[in-house]
Amino acid sequence: MENELNFLARKAGFNTALRHFKLVNRYVSEMQDGVNLANLLNDSLENGEVRREQVKTILSALLIDKFSYAYKSHNIQKGWEDAKELLTAFQPWDKIQLVLMYASPQAGTFLINPKKAEHWEQALPLIKDELVVVYAGPVGSDTAEVKVLEMAVNDVITILDGGKVPPRPEYRAPKRKEAAFAEERVTKAPSAPEAPKAAPVKKRMTPKYGVLVTNELFHNGNVEAWKRIIESYRAKYPDLDVLIWYENERINDINALFKWGKVKHGTPIMISVVGDNIKDVSKLQKYLYEGASPRFEVFLRGAVNRVLDLF
């Protein structure tokens, strides 16, 4: 029988395990200070500190074994294009720490702190019947009754399915008298007139849209077609940006899709558009679909340095 610890005998394996343990220990310390594990893991994934294959192991080790979160898997019964209602529902739950793992067969796995808008935005749209695992635990070093955590998990699932739950005092931390008194004094105190502030420009991101590859392989010609299509879109709308995602990874260099050699016929590549006044997304999708098909050559005609007039 092969020794399961053989990988530790090699320097590379030992160093990999050591980095993993150091990272998990850091997460433990930060979670005890009240930081949500979805925040920590998303930051680490973005910074390249952790690989996606480590995520499920970390969730199990910390949320279940270490901190005894209640949890349940569920296929959601409602699709969501927008997260405003969900944010409104979960924001007041300041006594409960929530982590969602949403699994999309097309876009991959997403870790969501349901009190953070940007976590929802990266996962949207949520599709009916797709899998979500809901974890509920105490905040920081606080304690919570098992029955309260299990009730919170079930309430999350009810909300995700489009249902309503009554206000639960068990999910909200009571205001301290000192804080309430200070808040009352601030409210009653006369305030000096403030100089008018310019309204901030709010950028929004569309949901991720799948573009199906219909060519036998997404090869160099398809890559060049996509580059020219996106260049044309950005030339028409310089304040907008096109984001590309593959298997839940943000693709900063489109050439990577060709270099990996993984993107074959029938595989979706996800795109989203970021900006304030978003336009022509459906047209962009249509052109990118053509660029991912055997008909990509139509976008390669003309001078190399000429921007296509598509929009």
Residue 306 inside a domain? The answer is no
Distance CA 207, CA 210 (A): 10
In the predicted model, is pLDDT for residue 285 greater than 60?
yes
- Does residue 16 sit in the same domain as residue 147? yes
- Does residue 28 sit in the same domain as residue 77? yes
Q: What is the identity of the amino acid at 160?
A: L
Residue 124 inside a domain? The answer is yes
- pLDDT tens profile 147-199: 999 999 999 999 999 999 999 999 998 765 444 444 455 445 455 555 544 44
In the predicted model, is pLDDT for residue 97 greater than 90?
yes
- Does residue 116 sit in the same domain as residue 165? yes
Residue 58 inside a domain? The answer is yes
Residue 186 inside a domain? The answer is no
In the listed set 153, 172, 191, which residue is the last one of a domain according to the structure? Answer: 172
- Does residue 146 sit in the same domain as residue 279? no
Q: What percent of the chain has pLDDT over 90?
A: 43
Residue 294: predicted pLDDT: 92
Residue 188 inside a domain? The answer is no
Residue 141 banded pLDDT, cuts 50, 70, 90:
confident
C-alpha angle with apex 178: 173 to 181, nearest 5 degrees?
105
Q: What's the whole-model pTM score?
A: 0.58
- Does residue 78 sit in the same domain as residue 35? yes
Residue 20 inside a domain? The answer is yes
Distance CA 70, CA 68 (A): 7
Give how many domains the chain has, as a whole number. 2
Q: How many CB atoms lie within 10 A of CB 100?
A: 23
Closest of 247, 307, 244, 290 to residue 271, by C-alpha: 244
Summary mean pLDDT of the chain: 83
- Does residue 142 sit in the same domain as residue 250? no
Distance of CA 162 to the CA centre of its chain: 21
Least confident window among 48-57, 82-91, 212-221, 228-237: 48-57
Give the dihedral sign, CA 104/106/111/112: negative
For 34, the domain range is 6-172
- Assign residue 293 the CATH number of its domain: 3.30.1340
Residue 98 inside a domain? The answer is yes
- Does residue 141 sit in the same domain as residue 49? yes
Residue 239 inside a domain? The answer is yes
Distance CA 280, CA 284 (A): 6
Residue 3: predicted pLDDT: 53
